[in-house]
Amino acid sequence: MTIGLEKGQRAVVTGGAGFIGSHLCERLVERGLFVVAVDNLSTGRAANVEALAGEERFTLLVADVTEPFHVDGPVHHVVHLASPASPLDYLALPLETLRVGSAGTENALRLALEHDARFVVASTSEVYGDPLEHPQPETYWGNVNPIGPRSVYDEAKRFTEALTAAYARTLGADTGIARLFNSYGPRMRREDGRVVPTFIDQALAGEPLTINGSGEQTRSLCYVEDTVRGLLALMESSFPGPVNIGATVEMTVREIAEAIAAHAGVELRTEYRPPTEDEPGRRRPDIETARTKLGWRPEVPLAEGIKRTLDWWQTAYPRDTARDGVNGSSDIRSEAA
């Protein structure tokens, strides 16, 4: 039986030191929950949860969820966000990405089942592949290349959904599936490789903004605060999903570059590079399910989200620091983390 978020409850967040996971942990602690963040720090960072370091209700457990793990004491919610999500990460860690989507998901599901906890998993818009239906509703089954370079992430998440649904049907697990679209905001890694951090870093450095392909491919950018509100709404509900969580303002990659340059106060200069294999041409969620089932919709306008991200970026990454691993890719993905 589903229980809402109540003060004193305990939540386990895999990938809790990641971009989205760290923001979720903060919101849960603010609401009075005890939180155990489980992360192997392969793509997450302990610095993301530094603000919670002295909080008695927060624990960071450094562990790999692809190996069986146990959490002592009561657990009321399990949120499975662990996974490489940036293309740079999952192309560098292909087998690890597949394992966290399979073994990691099953270990998280087993933990939830053991404690009779609500289980929410972050899937991704990547399950739709290069969509032939636009915008993408949850009923669309996708157009995915199962053996291409991106397949390690796409198929890991599709398997994650299948496994979650099977645990619900077969074992009675209380589950919810969130399909996260492109999220952005503070705590994205400088070397992340996705379009927003890449464009921001290039703009602030006075460099050309690099665009893969024509720049006419579209994305819908959702500020991390809104993404987290969507996850919280799914946690509080008994809705199994899947449910799209994302913004509905569709922009070309070229338009995203223009917006970031304008907010950074620099003249837009671009450099075009070859297109990325199997990159989706269009991406925009149909969020009617989120509106009707969860009462959720995005609230932070793009201009405000970019301003907040730029302000954070200039503090987190002063211009005299090295740019570790930035390769100028403008490919973007949702993070489940």
Q: What is the pLDDT of residue 330?
A: 36
Q: Among 2-11, 35-44, 84-93, 246-255, name the one with the lowest average pLDDT.
A: 2-11
Other beta carbons less than 10 A from residue 322's beta carbon = 8
Is 233 in a helix, a strand, or coil?
helix
Q: What is the pLDDT of residue 2?
A: 57
Which residues are marked as active site?
153
Other beta carbons less than 10 A from residue 316's beta carbon = 14
Q: What is the pLDDT of residue 272?
A: 92
CA 104 to chain centre: 16
Q: List Cβ<8 Å contacts ≥24 apart for 197-201.
A: 197/313, 198/326, 198/328, 198/329, 198/330, 199/256, 199/257, 199/260, 199/261, 199/330, 200/260, 200/264, 200/309, 200/310, 200/313, 201/313, 201/317, 201/323, 201/326
- State the SS3 of 14-78: ECCCCHHHHHHHHHHHHCCCEEEEEECCCCCCHHHHHHHCCCCCEEEEECCCCCCCCCCCCCCEE
Q: What is the pLDDT of residue 174?
A: 98
Q: Express as a percent the part of the chain with pLDDT over 70.
A: 94
Q: What is the pLDDT of residue 280?
A: 83
Longest distance between any two alpha carbons in the chain, whole Å: 57
Q: Are 119 and 173 in contact (CB under 8 A)?
A: yes
Residue 252 has pLDDT above 80, yes or no: yes
- Residue 191's pLDDT band, with cuts at 50, 70 and 90, is confident
Q: What is the pLDDT of residue 277?
A: 83
Q: What is the mean pLDDT of residues 250-266?
A: 95
Is 285 in a helix, a strand, or coil?
strand
Q: What is the pLDDT of residue 3?
A: 67
Q: What is the mean pLDDT of residues 121-141?
A: 96
Q: What is the pLDDT of residue 337?
A: 31
Residue 93 has pLDDT above 90, yes or no: yes
Question: What residues contact 287, with CB distance under 8 A and at least 6 apart?
Answer: 244, 245, 246, 248, 296, 297, 298
- Residue 83's pLDDT band, with cuts at 50, 70 and 90, is very high
- Residue 321's pLDDT band, with cuts at 50, 70 and 90, is low
**Mean residue pLDDT across the chain:** 92
Residue 275 has pLDDT above 90, yes or no: no
- Residue 331's pLDDT band, with cuts at 50, 70 and 90, is very low
Is 263 in a helix, a strand, or coil?
helix
Residue 328 has pLDDT above 90, yes or no: no
321, with CB counted inside 10 A (0-12, 13-18, 19+), is: exposed
Q: What is the pLDDT of residue 334?
A: 30
Q: What is the pLDDT of residue 335?
A: 30
Q: H or E stretch including 253?
A: helix 253-264
Q: What is the mean pLDDT of residues 120-128?
A: 97
